[in-house]
Amino acid sequence: MTGKTAKTIFWLGTLSSAIIFLWLTYDFHQQEPKFAKTDQINDQVVAGKKVWHKYNCNDCHTILGFGGYYAPDMTKAYYRLGENNIISIVMNPELVYKDSFRKMPHLGVTKEEAVNLVVFLKWVGTIENRHWPPQDEKFVKAFRLREANAQKLDKTDIIMGACGGCHSLETLGRKIAGDFNDIAKRISYDKDTLVKYIHDPQSVKPGTAMPPQNVSPETAAIISDFILSLKAGKEVQK
């Protein structure tokens, strides 16, 4: 190879890589509003992000893969848990996680800060992450469908979408507040009491650590039937 050919290869390679790199950078910034839903960033989202930094939540948690890998990823946490549950966990983790081997510390987050955090996490949840880092997309699907069109979901989806952030059903969901098979055998509530417990746990069992669940009365009834059917030890399919 002559010196001239080597120079030509060098310049062609460098320039073509530079052009591709600059174009990709430009394209990324063009697409950013669409993927990151930047038009939805309001003052409360910003306030929530500041709370996230103030308490160093990302020492333990990740968002879009950034942060500590000790605790669950928060990218789609809003869809896994919803507002009430996030507020209860953030304000009183020692109660909600009293039976869990992993612990989140009580950080002294105020109600107002927790509400802002929820708004921030809700916006984070809308970011088009193209399935990366991998998320439990079933939660997102179930959350979106469960109030709008619960009939379209199979029972397991409804139950795990609404309750799977804390409860498990065999291999589904998270095992931090008990498996529904064990709970079903333990409780002696009738259907109406169970529906009441789901909407307002304190009114049925004062002092309980379960946050009120904001599911519709129809969804609560479907879930109660399902849990009570587990008493007999046989799982009801679809």
Q: What angle do CA 109, 123, 79 make, to 5 degrees?
A: 80
**Measured between alpha carbons, how far is 152 from 165 in angstroms, rounded to an integer?**
21
Nearer to ligand HEC, 37 or 50 (CB): 50
- Binding to ligand HEC (CB under 6 A) within 159-198 occurs at 162-163, 165-167, 176-178, 183, 186-187, 197-198
CB of 205 to ligand HEC, least distance (A): 5
Q: Interacting stretch for ligand HEC, rule CB under 6 A, among 22-30, 32-40, 52-60, 138-146?
A: 52-60
Contact 74, 121 (CB under 8 A): yes
- Binding to ligand HEC (CB under 6 A) within 7-46 occurs at none
Nearer to ligand HEC, 152 or 205 (CB): 205
Q: 143-151, long-range: CB within 8 Å, 24+ apart, which pairs?
A: 143/79, 143/80, 143/82, 144/79, 146/215, 146/219, 147/215, 147/216, 147/219, 150/216, 150/218, 150/219, 150/222
Q: Interacting stretch for ligand HEC, rule CB under 6 A, among 3-11, 17-25, 34-42, 202-210?
A: 202-210
**Is residue 155 a contact point for ligand HEC (CB under 6 A)?**
no
Q: Is the dihedral of CA 135, 139, 142, 144 positive or negative?
A: negative
**Measured between alpha carbons, how far is 18 from 49 in angstroms, rounded to an integer?**
35
- Binding to ligand HEC (CB under 6 A) within 57-116 occurs at 57, 59-61, 70-72, 77, 80-81, 85-86, 88-90, 96-97, 100, 102-105, 107, 109
Out of 137, 205, 217, 232, the residue judged to bind ligand HEC by CB under 6 A: 205
Out of 124, 213, 222, 230, the residue judged to bind ligand HEC by CB under 6 A: 213
- Whether the link from the prior residue into 133 is cis, omega within 30° of 0, is yes
- Residue that has been written with the tokens 């500590």 in this structure: 68
Nearer to ligand HEC, 32 or 137 (CB): 137
Identify the CA nearest to 179 among candidates 119, 233, 113, 108: 233
CB of 132 to ligand HEC, least distance (A): 18
Q: For residues 227, 230, 236 and 238, what is the CA-based torsion angle, rounded to 10 degrees?
A: 30
Out of 208, 218, 232, 236, the residue judged to bind ligand HEC by CB under 6 A: 208
Nearer to ligand HEC, 36 or 176 (CB): 176
**Number of alpha carbons in the 13 Å side-chain half-sphere of residue 140:** 16
CB of 60 to ligand HEC, least distance (A): 3
